Structure formats: structure tokens, C-alpha cells
Amino acid sequence: MLTLVVAGAILKDRYRLGRLPLTHKGMGEVWTAQDTLLDRPVAVKFVNAAAMNVDLVRRFRREALLTARLGHPGVPAIYDLGNHDGRPYAILQWIDGTPLHILVAEQGPLPIGWVAAIGAQISCVLLAARQIGLVHRDIKPSNVMLEKSGAVKVLDFGLAAMPDDDRYSRITQSDQSLGTVGYMAPEQILGEATDHRTDLYGLGATLFDMLTAHPPFDGVTTTTTLRHQLDDPPPRPTHMRSEIPAVLDDLVYALLANRPQDRPATATEVYAVLAPLAQDLVPIPGVLDDPAGAVRAYAAIVGRTPLQSHLLSAAPSEQTELDVERTAEQAEQLHTAGEFRAAARKWRQLADHLAQRQGAHDPLVFEFQLRAARAHVPLGEHGRALRHLNQLLRERIRADGPRHAAVLDLQQEIEQLTKQRPAPRQSSRYEPNPGR
């Protein structure tokens, strides 16, 4: 019979537990403790005694192994594993910070700069996770902590999976719908296969929550929340907060796409949007307290280190010369099949490739950029399409003058699309939840 964990208990003649457990989180409960050997605070996570079984113990150990394997500054370090009176436990790095759901509850919608800074850091963790084939599957505000230095830690890899490694994936294959309602992706809800884009959905929902102080899907009941997630187009945060930059609004909208293939392809794309917005990081009283700036100063120097492009690639791969004709054909096929976002991505890839080799004013560069912009219209992203088209118009005027035929045609196309653009409407997906 399992015994209850008691305050002050000593684990391995080294770790002295605190007075009370901090929380019941995921598959276990978390206690504060003191590492008496190294004289430092640590966290101790025990398997939940009430629900403990063989599978739960395996999942618990798997979480520790996955977290240790990740080895990223945005993830708490695992120091030790053990067993106390039949209760498995893990010793983790103590994080002195605030979970995002508590931060938003106390502060309300967060400043744009901080939303971007936090989101960019989460993106980096997801990038590192994908590089070892890891899918977290439970990205949400309560699983992210903001330290007093402004650094972010992603917690709780208890639902994580490595689809290409049976040692880590087989335990959860029969329980694919695990996750958090309102934050888990539609493919999780339906019990379908998950990949790195599943975590991007959770990141999108977390960004929405930080921007608006509301989850993107919050029905009165679990059933209505799930129905909104599966049946409705994603909400736009600008419907609740008008000053959100359009590029950030578009990103959140794309991240919350129902189909994985309609989301950004990689965490790198997400980071590229968020990083430039991480400006004007105003103090958050009672939350951020790094007076010496030790962590920020360290990170600033690390940030100056030259970064090879392959380190921000979606996954390890060989760098090959792009086959322009074949890639253009693939883009057309994707567009014909209704895979508009994937087609736009291909066309942008072609435009960037040709611009580097033949110059930004090459006619094919303009043509591929134009097709990429147009692909957002059938996705309902008229505003995004218009921004891209107007940028193209400015570039064409600089290159060819205001009376060039291509300039006049583009002006006419912009005028027509502006008339067709649907009027903004208030999102109907948010239903006030009395229990929130």
C-alpha cells in the first residue's frame, strides 16, 4: 500500500521536502524541496498516488527521459530520479517565476512586446524539440512560466511523444486524445496523428490568451468548446483588441487553423514573425525582477554569436539547390488541390530563391510574390493579401514608374479586392464561461 508524502520527508538522504505540495499538475504533484548536499532549492514531482498504475509510472519516467534528452535552456533541467515508499519521483530545477495563466489573470492582456518575446522563446523550445523528433502535445499558458529575468520555461512533457521512436511513443499511442480542451489541436481531439504543427496550434492558442486575456475557444461546456474548435473558423485576436499589429493577428489566425497543413510549416516561421515585435519590453511590477540584468546580459552576448542558417531549419536536412520548375509545378498542384497556404509557401520560397540569384527585380520574382499574395484570398485572409499586394505595388512603382502596365493592373486588382473584403465582425466563438 502506498503511503502519503509528508512534509519534511528526506529523499535519498539529500532532498528535504517543504511544508506543502505546490500543485497537482499533470500526472503528479509537485513539492518544493531543498537539496541539502548542494544547498539549493529544487522541485520534486511525484506520481499521483490516487491514479498510479503501470502505464502512469511509465509515462512519468518517459517524461523525465524526454525532458533530459531535450537539454534546452527553455526547459527545466532534470537532476535525479528516485522512488519514495513506492512513489516514483523526479528532482527538477526550481523555477522562480509565474505561470502564464496566473500572469494573465493578474495583469490582463499583456503588452504586445512581451507577448512576442514569450512566444518567440516558446518557438525556440519547439524548434529544439522538433530537431529530436519530439512533440509536446500540451502547450498552454499553465505549462509556460516566465522567470523574473524575463526568460521562459516550458513545463510538463508528460504528454509528449516521439512518433519515430517506439521507446517513447508506444505508451501514448492508445491515448492520443490526451490534451487540454481549448488548446489541443483538432487532430488531437479526433485521435489522429500529431506532429510539430500540433504544438504550433497550442502556441497560437497561448498567444491568443496572452493578447486578449481569454482563450480562443471557451464555450460554456466542454462540448461547445470542442464544437467551436472543430467546426468554426479560428477567431482573430483583433476582434477583442484592435491595436494588435496585423502581422501578429495573421500569425495567430494561421496557427489556429483547423488543418495542420494550413498552419505555418515550422517554428522558425513563427519565430521570424515574433522576434521583430519583441520590442519595448516594459517592466511588469512584481513579476520581472533582474536588477543586475545578469541573465539578459548573458543572453545578449550569446545572441551576437553568428548563427548558421541550418540551425534554424525545420529539421536536419541536406541543403540542395532548388529545382525552380518542379517547385513551381508543385505550387500549382497544391493550389489546384485547395492547399492554398502550402502553395503560398512554395511561391514565396521560389521568389526568395530567385531574388538571391537573379535580383529582386526579376519578373519571375514578382510573379511568384504575386501568386503567394493571392493565395491568401481563398483562405479568407483578405487583409494579409492586400498588405502583400500593396507592398508589391510600392516596389513596382519604384522599379518601373507609376504608369507601367504591371503597376496599373496591380492597382486595379487591389481596388477590386478591397471592395470584396468582408467587413470585420465580432467573433462568436467566445461564450462567457461563468466558471473561468
- Residues 304-345 have pLDDT tens digits of 666 554 445 544 443 457 888 899 999 999 899 888 988 998
As for how many domains the chain has, the answer is 3
Residue 167 has which C-alpha cell? Answer: 521507446
Percentage of the chain lying above the pLDDT 90 cut: 45
Residue 160 lies in a domain: yes
Residue linked to cell 519604384: 398
Average pLDDT over residues 4-17: 90
pLDDT (tens digit, 9 = 90+) per residue, 186-223? 999 998 888 899 999 999 999 999 999 999 998 778 88
The answer to whether residue 318 is domain-embedded is no
CA 52, CA 353: separation in Å to the nearest integer?
54
Q: Is residue 407 part of a domain?
A: yes
- Whether 349 is covered by a domain: the verdict is yes
In which domain, by residue range, is 387 found?
324-420
The domain that holds 135 is classified in CATH as: 1.10.510.10
Question: How many CB atoms lie under 10 A from the CB of residue 43?
Answer: 19
Does one domain contain both 337 and 304?
no
**What is the SS3 assignment for 173?**
helix
Pair (218, 117) in one structural domain: yes
274 and 294 within one domain:
yes
Max distance between CA atoms of the chain, in angstroms, equals 85
CATH code where residue 44 lies: 3.30.200.20
Last residue of a domain, one of 93, 128, 153: 93
From 13, 80, 138, 409, the catalytic residue? 138
- Cβ–Cβ under 8 Å, residues 228 and 219: yes
Domain boundary among 93, 125, 140: 93
d(CA 377, CA 395): 21
pLDDT in tens, 360-404: 888 899 999 999 999 999 988 888 899 899 999 998 898 889 999
Rounded Cα distance between 93 and 352, Å, is 43
Together in a domain, 156 and 18: no
**Could you identify the residue written with the cell 500543485?**
23
pLDDT of residue 165: 54
Q: Looking at the structure, do residues 288 and 145 belong to the same domain, yes or no?
A: yes
| pLDDT recorded at residue 284 | 83
The residue from 258, 279, 309 where one domain ends is 309
427 domain residue, yes or no? no
Task: Tell me the mean pLDDT in the region 51-61.
Answer: 78
The answer on 288 and 189 residing in a single domain is: yes
Assess contact for 155 and 144: CB atoms under 8 A: yes
CA-to-CA dists, residue 265 to 315, 330, 373, angstroms:
11, 16, 17
173 or 139, higher pLDDT: 139
Judge whether 30 lies within some domain: yes
Of all helices (H) and strands (E), which one includes residue 378? none
425 in any annotated domain? no
Mapping DSSP to helix (H, G, I), strand (E, B) and coil, where does residue 43 land?
strand
Domain check: are 88 and 114 in the same one?
no
Give me the torsion for CA of 114, 118, 119, 125, rounded to 10°.
160
Residue 306: its pLDDT value, please?
61
Say yes or no: 193 and 63 in one domain: no
Q: Is 138 a catalytic residue?
A: yes
Q: What is the pLDDT of residue 263?
A: 93
> Residue 315 and residue 310: Cα distance in Å, rounded?
9
Question: How many angstroms separate the CA atoms of 224 and 240, rounded?
Answer: 20
Claim to verify: residue 59 and residue 111 sit in the same structural domain: no
Lowest mean pLDDT among 38-47, 87-96, 356-365: 356-365
281 & 354 share domain: no
Q: How many CB atoms lie within 10 A of CB 275?
A: 16
Is the pLDDT at 162 greater than 90, yes or no? no
Question: Do 258 and 170 sit in the same domain of this protein?
Answer: yes
- The answer to whether residues 138 and 187 belong to one domain is yes
pLDDT given at position 314: 46
Q: Does the residue 428 lie in any domain?
A: no
Q: Which secondary-structure segment (H or E) carries 101? A: helix 100-107
